[in-house]
Amino acid sequence: MKLKISTWLQNLGIACSIASFFTLFFRLTEFEWVTKSVFNIPVFFVVLFLLGLMIAEDVRKVFKRMFWYEKREEKRPIWQVGIGFIFFLAQIGIVMVFSTELTQPKLGGMPLFLVFAFMNAFILTIIYEEIFYGKDKTNELNSQ
């Protein structure tokens, strides 16, 4: 059950990232008319989010093969980087599509929303690992 929820959350993050970055891309081109909003939610985002949900599992599998995830002896470091990256991209995409005014404040020349997204991704990765993989690691240590 935990594995299904974990996979589902990862797929949601991937679909959100895909939809938000394509929406942002179209918003910055002459095809801005595609990104018309209803109640401040771009219709194009919703359509791409639903399409992204359909391909998110395949995207995850491609990245696993690309980084030789199954062949690795120690899978934890690459797993943590992957989950953190999903959280990071999803947050950046949501801010850039739904709250563009938050992209203006800067911290020493770097956009502040990138700093917050990085810190949030780090914390979310730790919380995610504790929820889905914390007890399994504890049981393994006790059995040794």
Model confidence over 6-54: pLDDT tens digits?
A: 888 889 999 999 999 998 888 888 877 777 777 878 888 889 999 999 9
Q: How far apart are CA 30 and CA 33, in angstroms?
A: 8
Query: What's phi and psi for 78, nearest 5 deg?
Result: -70, -30
Q: Which residues pair with 111 in a beta bridge?
A: 106
The count of domains in the chain is 1
* pTM value surpassing 0.85: no
Question: Would residue 139 count as lying in a domain?
Answer: no
Question: Would residue 34 count as lying in a domain?
Answer: yes
Question: Would residue 125 count as lying in a domain?
Answer: yes
H helices of the chain, in order, are 2-27, 43-66, 76-98, 112-143
- Quote the domain boundaries for residue 101: 2-133
Question: Would residue 142 count as lying in a domain?
Answer: no
Question: Would residue 140 count as lying in a domain?
Answer: no
Question: Would residue 94 count as lying in a domain?
Answer: yes
Question: Would residue 26 count as lying in a domain?
Answer: yes
- Determine how many CB atoms are found less than 10 A away from the CB of residue 97: 22
pLDDT digits (tens, 9 = 90+) for 88-109: 999 998 888 888 777 788 877 7
Virtual CA dihedral for 131, 136, 142, 144, nearest 10 degrees? -150
Virtual CA dihedral for 140, 129, 52, 23, nearest 10 degrees? -160
**Max Cα distance, the chain (Å):** 61
pLDDT digits (tens, 9 = 90+) for 59-91: 888 888 887 877 888 777 777 788 888 899 999
Question: Would residue 46 count as lying in a domain?
Answer: yes
